[in-house]
Amino acid sequence: MGKSETAAQAWLERKASVRVSGGLHARPISEVIRIAKGYDAEVELATGVQQASARSSLKLLLLGVKEGDIITVRGRGDDAGLAVDAISAFLERKDTETHSPPAAPPASQAPAPTPETASRKADTAPSPVVGTPLTGVPVCAGVALGSPFVFQQPKIDPEPAQIAPDSIAREQARARAALNAVSQRLREAAQTKANPSSAMVMEALADLSADEDWAEAIQSMIAEGNSALAAVDATAESTARQIETLESDYARARAEDMRAAGHLVAMALQGKKPLSVGDVPAGAVLVAEELTAAHMGGEDLSHLAAIVAERGASNGHAAILARSFGIPTVFGLPGVVNAIKKARMVAVDGATGAVMVDPDVETNARLRAAISAAAEDRAELERFTTVKPVTRDGVSIIVAANIGGVNDLDFATEAGAMGVGLMRTEFLFIERAELPDEDEQYQVYRTVLERFPDDDVIIRTLDIGGDKPCRAIDLQKEDNPFLGLRGIRLCLAKPEIFRPQLRALLRAACHGRLKVMLPMIATVDEISETKALIESCEHELEREGKTYGPFELGIMVETPAAVFSADALAKEAAFFSLGTNDLTQYVMAADRTNPAVASLSRPENPAVIEAVRLVCAAAARADIPVGVCGEAAADPVLSAVFLQAGVRELSVSAAAIRRVKRQVCALELRETTEQDV
C-alpha cells in the first residue's frame, strides 16, 4: 500500500487489477457501494483520466472500467486502509460475482382451475363467444369470463418546465422524496422477487435512484428554475447519452437502466406507481397494447383469467409464455384497450380469437356451460399424467416439455412430462442486466437434468435475436433482425458468450441424460464450428481438472436451408428437432410476430408440411430421431401428420402435455391420411 499527500489529508492508495468479469458494470458497482458504505472513510476509484466516489453508482458507471484495467483505489479517514483493501480484494477476485441460487420454484405454477376459465380444444366445438365485433389472433385456447384490467404504465402528465423562484425549495424537496421513494420501493421489491435476475435488475435501479451525484444534478437544475420533472428528465437523458458513449458491451443496457430509473422517479413525482403483472387482480382479463417476453418472463401468470392485446402474434415469445401457463389468450386486436377500458365483463375465446365486451345473458350462459364442460374435461385428462402414450397401432411416442427455466420444472413434472424436449436457455439471459456466468448456468442445467434422471433433457443453446433481444448483449440494430445475427450465428460470432454456456453444459452432462441442440442452423459449417468449440472447451476443462461428460449434439430445423440440406446435416447431427414456429416463418416469408400476415404464418400450410416430410425422410435415411418442439406439436391435427411422417417426440408446453398424450393414444397412424391436413 502506498501513501501520497493530496491537499490537507493523507490518501492511502493502491493499484488494483480489475478481474470482475465484464468490468465495472451494475452488479459489481452495487457491491463496491455496499462495501464502501461499511466504512467511514472516503473512498475513490481512479483511472488515469478520471476518478469517482466509491459510493456513486453513476460516477462508477461512467468510469467505464473494463475487465483487465488497472485502476487506483484510494481512501482517507480512520478506516481507509481497511476500506481500500476490502474494495481492492473484491475487484481483484476473479469470481467476485455473488451467485444467487436458482430461484426456488413457486409452490405451483399450474394455472389455477378457476370456475371462470376453461381450456377448450380448438375446432372441436362451436365457440360460446359469438356475435362479437372483435376477432383477433387466437394464441392460447380456452374460454374465460372476467372483468378487464388495463395493463398500461401510468403516463406522465405534462407540467410546466419552469418554476417561480419561491417554488424552488418545494420542488427540491419533492425531487428528494421521489428519489427516496423509488430506491426504497425497488430495494423492497428486490427482496421479495423469487426470480434472482429480476432482483438484481431492481437492485441496480435502486442504486441509480439513490445516487448522490444524480440527486445533486437534479437539485442544481431545480435551483436554476427548472421543475423537478424537467430536471429528472433532463439529467436522466443526458446521463444515459453519456453512458452510451462508453465503449462497452454493457453500455446500452446501462443507458436503458438510467432511462428506466428516470421514468420511475418521474412517476413517483406525480404519485404514480409502476405496474407489474403481479398487480393484476386474480381472475381479471389482462388487456394491453403489447406484452413482450421481457414483461412476462419470470412472472407468474397463473392468476390471470385471460390475456388480450392489441399487438403480438401467435408464434411470438409472449404468446409462448402465455401458453406455458395455459391462459386463454388473444392478440392482434388494434384498439382493444379503448374498446374494453370501460367494460364490466369481457368474454374471451382463445381458440377462435373472439373477444366480446359485456356479453349478453345468452352468451354468458353459453360461456358458463363451456367453462363447466371444460372443468370436466380437465378432470378426465388427469389420468393421462402417468400414461406413456402408445398409438392404437402400437407406436410409442415421447411427450416432453418445453421449458424456459427451473421455475417451469414443477409444472412440467406435475403434468407428466417425459423429459424436456426444449429448454429455451435464452430466458436465463434475456431480462438480465449482466449475463449469467458459467457456474450459474451449470447449476441451472444440473437442476433441470436432476429432475428427469430417467429421461432425455434437450437443452438448446442460446437463441437471442429476432424478437428476443437481450439487455446484457450489445446487439447492433438490424433492419431485419429475424434474418440477422440470431441463434447460432450470434453464438459463433461471440465465443465469449458461447464458450461459458458450452462449458456449463459439458459439466452438467455428468448429472443426467443431456442432449444439446443448436438453434437456427443453416449450414453444416455451423455444426462443425460448434463441435470445434466444444472440443476446445473439453480440453480447457481437462487442463483445469474439472469433471465433464459427453452429450449428443443435435440441431433445430427451422430454416429452409436446413430443410434442403437435411441429408448433409443429418451426417453431423445426432438428432433433429423441428422448430415449426420459425420454420413456418421462414418457409412462408411471414414474420411470426406480425398479425398482418398471421394468415400466412400457419404451420398447416402445405409448404410447411412438405418441409416437415422432407426432413423426416432425411432423418429416416440417416437413422437419427426427429421430434417437433414448435407450437404445432400440440395441435391435434398437425401432430398426427407429424407422427405419420416419422416424428417420435412431441415437445409441448406443460399445460398441453396431458391433452397431447390423450391425442396420441387415440391415433391410428396408418389411418391418418393427407385429407386430414
| Residues engaged in binding Mg ion (CB under 5 A) | 558, 579, 582
Q: Which residue's CB is nearer to Mg ion, number 230 or number 491?
A: 491
How far are the Cα atoms of 45, 54, 603, 672, 676 from residue 637, in angstroms, in the given order? 64, 62, 11, 9, 7
Please answer whether residues 277 and 302 qualify as being in contact, where contact means their C-beta atoms are separated by less than 8 angstroms.
Answer: no
Q: Which residue's CB is nearer to ligand PEP, number 65 or number 632?
A: 632
Please answer whether residues 285 and 306 qualify as being in contact, where contact means their C-beta atoms are separated by less than 8 angstroms.
Answer: yes
Q: Which residue's CB is nearer to Mg ion, number 558 or number 631?
A: 558
Please answer whether residues 205 and 264 qualify as being in contact, where contact means their C-beta atoms are separated by less than 8 angstroms.
Answer: yes
Which residue number is nearest to Mg ion in terms of Cβ?
A: 582
Residue pointed to by grid coordinates 429452409: 560
Q: Which residue's CB is nearer to ligand PEP, number 272 or number 613?
A: 613
Among Mg ion, ligand PEP, none, the one that 656 touches (CB under a kind-dependent 5 to 8 A) is none
Active site residue 317: yes
Secondary structure class of 137 (helix, strand, coil):
strand
Closest C-alpha among 107, 97, 103, 99 to residue 404: 103
Q: Which residue's CB is nearer to ligand PEP, number 391 or number 580?
A: 580
What's the rounded Cα separation, in Å, for the pair 173 and 121?
58
Draw the binding track, 212-231, toward ligand PEP (x: CB under 6 A; -: no contact).
Answer: --------------------
Draw the binding track, 179-218, toward ligand PEP (x: CB under 6 A; -: no contact).
Answer: ----------------------------------------
Given 114, 119, 581, 653, the residue binding ligand PEP (CB under 6 A): 581
Q: Which residue's CB is nearer to ligand PEP, number 215 or number 578?
A: 578
408 binds ligand PEP (CB under 6 A): no
Draw the binding track, 283-322, toward ligand PEP (x: CB under 6 A; -: no contact).
Answer: -------------------------------------x--
Q: Which residue's CB is nearer to ligand PEP, number 116 or number 463?
A: 463
Among Mg ion, ligand PEP, none, the one that 629 touches (CB under a kind-dependent 5 to 8 A) is ligand PEP
582 binds ligand PEP (CB under 6 A): yes
Draw the binding track, 498-537, toward ligand PEP (x: CB under 6 A; -: no contact).
Answer: ----------------------------------------
Cell of 529: 464450428
Draw the binding track, 458-477, toward ligand PEP (x: CB under 6 A; -: no contact).
Answer: -----x--------------
Write down the least CB distance from residue 247 to ligand PEP, Å. 31
Write down the least CB distance from residue 577 to Mg ion, Å. 10
What's the rounded Cα separation, in Å, for the pair 558 and 273?
42
Write down the least CB distance from residue 627 to ligand PEP, Å. 11
Catalytic residue among 140, 537, 616, 629: 629
63 binds ligand PEP (CB under 6 A): no
Secondary structure class of 79 (helix, strand, coil):
coil
Report DSSP state, residue 628.
E
Among Mg ion, ligand PEP, none, the one that 559 touches (CB under a kind-dependent 5 to 8 A) is none
Site size with ligand PEP, rule: CB under 6 A: 11
Binding residues for ligand PEP restricted to 605-644, rule: CB under 6 A? 629-630
Write down the least CB distance from residue 558 to ligand PEP, Å. 5
What's the rounded Cα separation, in Å, for the pair 9 and 134?
73
Write down the least CB distance from residue 424 to ligand PEP, Å. 5
400: Cβ–Cβ under 8 A, 6 or more apart, which residues?
417, 418, 419, 420, 421, 422, 455, 456, 458, 627, 649, 650, 651, 652
Q: Which residue's CB is nearer to ligand PEP, number 530 or number 581?
A: 581
Contacts of 490-498 with CB under 8 Å at 24 or more apart are 490/462, 490/464, 490/465, 491/461, 491/462, 491/530, 492/526, 492/529, 492/530, 492/533, 495/533, 497/435, 497/462, 497/473, 498/461, 498/462, 498/533
Catalytic residue among 263, 317, 491, 537: 317
Write down the least CB distance from residue 517 to ligand PEP, Å. 10
Write down the least CB distance from residue 642 to ligand PEP, Å. 12
Q: Which amino acid is at 561?
A: A
192: Cβ–Cβ under 8 A, 6 or more apart, which residues?
none
Write down the least CB distance from residue 629 to ligand PEP, Å. 5
Given 248, 363, 461, 580, the residue binding ligand PEP (CB under 6 A): 580
Secondary structure class of 341 (helix, strand, coil):
coil
Q: Which residue's CB is nearer to ligand PEP, number 564 or number 665?
A: 564
558 binds ligand PEP (CB under 6 A): yes
Please answer whether residues 95 and 122 qualify as being in contact, where contact means their C-beta atoms are separated by less than 8 angstroms.
Answer: no
Q: Which residue's CB is nearer to ligand PEP, number 52 or number 320?
A: 320
649 binds ligand PEP (CB under 6 A): no
579 binds ligand PEP (CB under 6 A): yes
Q: Which residue's CB is nearer to ligand PEP, number 117 or number 315?
A: 315
- Residue 110: Cβ-neighbour burial (10 angstroms; 0-12, 13-18, 19+): middle
How far are the Cα atoms of 104, 137, 439, 548 from residue 507, in angstroms, in the given order? 22, 42, 9, 4
Angle at 314 between CA 611 and CA 521, to 5 degrees: 40
Instruction: Annotate 377-405 with DSSP letters as a single string.
Output: HHHHHGGGGG---B-TTS-B-EEEEEESS
Q: Where does this chain touch ligand PEP (CB under 6 A) — which range of 174-182, 232-240, 242-250, 573-581?
A: 573-581
Residue pointed to by grid coordinates 470445434: 532
Please write down the HEC assignment for all residues of 459-507. EECCCCECCECCCCCCCCCCCCHHHCCCCHHHHHHCHHHHHHHHHHHHH
Question: Over the range 337-348, which residues count as b (16 or more CB within 10 Å of their CB) and which as e?
Answer: bebbeebebbbb
Q: Which residue's CB is nearer to ligand PEP, number 411 or number 586?
A: 586
Angle at 558 between CA 552 and CA 561, to 5 degrees: 100
Write down the least CB distance from residue 315 to Mg ion, Å. 9
Given 193, 424, 471, 661, the residue binding ligand PEP (CB under 6 A): 424
What's the rounded Cα separation, in Å, for the pair 652 and 400?
6
601 binds ligand PEP (CB under 6 A): no
Please answer whether residues 328 and 374 qualify as being in contact, where contact means their C-beta atoms are separated by less than 8 angstroms.
Answer: no
What's the rounded Cα separation, in Å, for the pair 231 and 243?
18
Among ligand PEP, Mg ion, none, the one that 227 touches (CB under a kind-dependent 5 to 8 A) is none
Among ligand PEP, Mg ion, none, the one that 424 touches (CB under a kind-dependent 5 to 8 A) is ligand PEP
Active site residue 537: no
Residue pointed to by grid coordinates 443507458: 255
Among Mg ion, ligand PEP, none, the one that 630 touches (CB under a kind-dependent 5 to 8 A) is ligand PEP
Write down the least CB distance from residue 320 to ligand PEP, Å. 6
Among Mg ion, ligand PEP, none, the one that 105 touches (CB under a kind-dependent 5 to 8 A) is none
Write down the least CB distance from residue 630 to Mg ion, Å. 7
What's the rounded Cα separation, in Å, for the pair 290 and 138?
15
Question: Over the range 591-622, which residues count as b (16 or more CB within 10 Å of their CB) and which as e?
Answer: bbbbbebbeebbbebeebbebbbbbbebbeeb
The residues annotated with a catalytic role in the active site are 317, 629
Which residues contact ligand PEP by CB under 6 A?
Answer: 320, 422, 424, 463, 558, 579-582, 629-630
